Amino acid sequence: LDDSSARSASVYQVITDRFARPSSVSSTCTTSDRKYCGGTYSALIEKLDYIQGMGFDTIWISPIVENIGGTTGEGEAYHGYWTLDAAKTNDNFGTADDLKSLSTALHNKGMYLMVDVVVNHVAATSSSTFIPSSSYGQFSSSDDYHPFCWITDYSNQTNVEQCWLGDDSVALADLNTDSDTVKNYWNNWVKELVSNYTLDSVRIDTVKHVQKDFWPNFVSSAGVFTQGEVLNGDPTYVSPYQSDAKVNPFNYPAYYPLIRGFNQTSGDLTELVTMTQTIKNSFSDPTLLGNFLNNHDNPRFESTVTDTSLIKNAHAYPFVTDGIPYGYYGSEAGFTGGADPDNREPLWTANYDTSSDMYKFFASLNAARKAAGNASDSFFTNQMTVSSLSSSSILVAKSPLISVLSNSGSSASDASVTVQSSASGWSSNTEVIDAISCETLTTDGSGNLAVTVKTGLPRVFIASSQKGSVCSSS
Ligand code: ABC
Ligand code: CA
C-alpha cells in the first residue's frame, strides 16, 4: 500500500498465536502461563471471512521471525517479539509457505497483509550471559550490539536509544543500529521480507528506541506503508517521527485522552477536543496516524469499563476520526483482559460468533467509513474538526461523516444536541442516516440537525444519498 491507499484501509490486529488454531489442537490456553497456544497462519486463513465480515480489509499479524525457544521467567516467545535469527521464520506459526499462502489468500479476497517487524533488539535470557553468536544469524559479533546497560531514564533519549529494554529474565540485546553493517542488513532484510511475502504494509516495533536517522532508509527500503510504535503520549515527542523519521506513528497522543474521556460518565471530553487540535498543529499529516482503543500492550478498555454505551463510543472514535483505524481481535467478542499477558486471550473460546452485538457494531463503523470514502474523494485527506456539543458529548465533523460521541452512559436520559450546518456541510431538508441505529433524520430549513442521544449511544451520520451499504442488512 502507498500512503493514499493506506488511508482508506481498516486494520484488524491479531496475535497470531491466539487468533486461530487447527481444530486438532485442544489444549487449554491460559493467558497467565505466557505459553504458545497453537495459533497458525493456516488456521487464520480459514477465518478470513470472519474478519472481512466486520469490514476490516487489512490484517496485522505478530512478528514472523525465529524467536528464542524454550521458556523464560516471562514464559515463551508466543508473541513473536523475542527475535533469535531474523533470517529464519518462527515455525510455531507454520512454514514460510504457509505465510505466503496467507498473503495470497488475503489478496484473493481483496485484503491486505501487514507484518510486525522488530529491528531494535534480539532476545537473550540474561544480560550477563548474552554472547553474540551465529544463533543470532548475521548479528554474531559484539560490534553489532550497543554495550549492555538497562534503559533507566526515559527523559534521556541517548539512554532510550542505546541501552537495553527488558529485564533479568529476558534481556533485549540492543542492536547497534548506528553501525553500517547493521543498517545495511536491516534495509536489505525488509526489502526481501516485503517481496518474499508480498506484504502490503509493515508495523514497526520500538521506533523510539532507534535513532531517528536510521528510519528514512529503512522505510524507503520497505517500499510500502509503515505504521510505527512510538510509545509516548506527548505529541511534540511523537510528531518528529513522522516528519523526520518518515514513520507514521500510532496515535498514542490521542489514546490517553480518549480512554480518560470515555472510561467514566464523568470523564472530561475537553482534553480529547484540545488534543485533536494539538495533533493537527504538531503532525505533518494527522490523516496517516494509526488510531486504536485496544492493542496487545495495554489493558483492554473493557477491563475497567463495563457500560456498553461508553465502550461503543470509545470504540467508535478511531473509525470516525482522521487517520487509520485499528481494531484489536477480541474486542468484537467482548473480551475484558487487563494488562499483558491477560489482554492476549485465545479467540477460539468465543467461537468466531458473527451475530454478537459488538461484531455487528464494528461492521457498522467500517461500513460508515467506507461509504464516506466512496462518497467523497477527499474524505480520507481532509482534516476533521472536533468540538464540544455539551459537557457529555463531542462532534467529530469529517465530512461527509458526522459523528456525535457521548460519555453519558447507557442509563442516561435522552439528551438533545444540535449539529450546525456550518459544521456538517449539510443543506436544508437533507435526510441523513445513523449507521449505528439505522434511524433516519432530516435537517431543518437551515441545514441544522436536531439529534437526540439515546441511552448514551454513539451517533454516526452520513447523508442517506451517500449511505452505500450502511444499514443494508437491517
Ligand atoms: C514482558 C512480559 C510482561 C511484562 C513485561 C515487563 O515484560 O511478558 O508480562 O509486563 C514484548 C512482549 C511483552 C514482553 C516484552 C518484554 O516483549 O510483547 O509481552 O513483556 O520482553 C513493544 C511491543 C511489545 C513488545 C516490545 C518488545 C515492544 O509493542 O509488545 O513486548 O519487542 C516500552 C517500549 C515499547 C514496548 C513496550 C512494551 O515497552 O517503549 O516499545 N512495546 C512508558 C515508556 C514506554 C514504555 C511503556 C511501557 O512505559 O515511555 O517507552 O514502552 O513500559 C504515557 C507516557 C508514556 C509511558 C506510558 C506508560 O504512559 O507518555 O511514555 O510509556 O502517559
Ligand atoms: Ca536501540
Residue-wise DSSP of 101-144: HHHHHHHHTT-EEEEEE--SEEEES-TTT----GGGTT--SGGG
CA 148 – ligand 2 centroid, Å = 11
The answer to whether residue 406 scores a pLDDT higher than 90 is yes
154-201 residue pLDDT tens: 999 999 999 999 999 999 999 999 999 999 999 999 999 999 999 999
What integer pLDDT is reported at residue 89 of this predicted model? 98
**pLDDT confidence tier of residue 6, bands split at 50, 70 and 90:** very high
What are residue 404's DSSP bridge partners? Answer: 395, 459
| Overall average pLDDT of the 266-279 stretch | 97
CA count, 13 A, side-chain hemisphere, 342 = 12
* Residue 237 beta carbon below 6 angstroms from any ligand 1 atom: no
**Rounded distance from Cα 166 to ligand 1 centre (Å):** 9
Gap from CA of 165 to ligand 2 centroid (Å):
8
pLDDT of 109 above 70? yes
Instruction: Give the count of alpha carbons within 13 A of 31, CB side only.
Output: 18
DSSP assignment letter at 334:
T
pLDDT confidence tier of residue 314, bands split at 50, 70 and 90: very high
* Ligand 1 and 81: CB distance under 6 A: yes
Ligand 1 pocket check for 76: Cβ under 6 Å:
no
**CA angle 443–449–455, rounded 5-degree value:** 130
The C-alpha atoms of residue 210 and residue 458 are separated, in whole angstroms, by: 39
Dihedral, 165, 166, 171, 175 alpha carbons, nearest 10: -20
464 pLDDT higher than 60 = yes
- The H-assigned helical ranges of 136-243 are 157-162, 180-196, 215-222, 235-243
Share of the chain above pLDDT 90, in %: 99
Mutate to test the pocket of ligand 1, among 239, 297, 326 (most ligand atoms within 8 A of CB): 297
Lowest mean pLDDT among 11-15, 127-131, 335-339: 127-131
3-state helix, strand, coil in the chain (%, to 5): 35, 20, 45
The pLDDT assigned to 105 comes to: 99
**pLDDT on residue 473:** 75
Mean pLDDT of 416-431: 98
Q: pLDDT tens for residues 58-79?
A: 999 999 999 999 999 999 999 9
pLDDT, the chain, mean:
98
* pLDDT at position 27: 97
User: Above pLDDT 70, what percent of the chain?
Assistant: 100
Residue 168 Cβ inside 6 Å of ligand 1? The answer reads no
Closest atom of ligand 1 to 169 CA is 21
Q: What is the pLDDT of residues 340-395, one digit of tens each?
A: 999 999 999 999 999 999 999 999 999 999 999 999 999 999 999 999 999 999 99
Residue 107 is placed in which grid cell?
Answer: 489478496
- Residue partners of 178: CB distance under 8 A and separation at least 6: 211, 214
**pTM of the model as a whole:** 0.98
Give the per-residue pLDDT at 402.
98
pLDDT grade for 86, boundaries at 50, 70 and 90: very high
Residue 474 has pLDDT above 60, yes or no: no
171-174 sheet: strands from edge to edge? 121-124, 171-174, 165-166
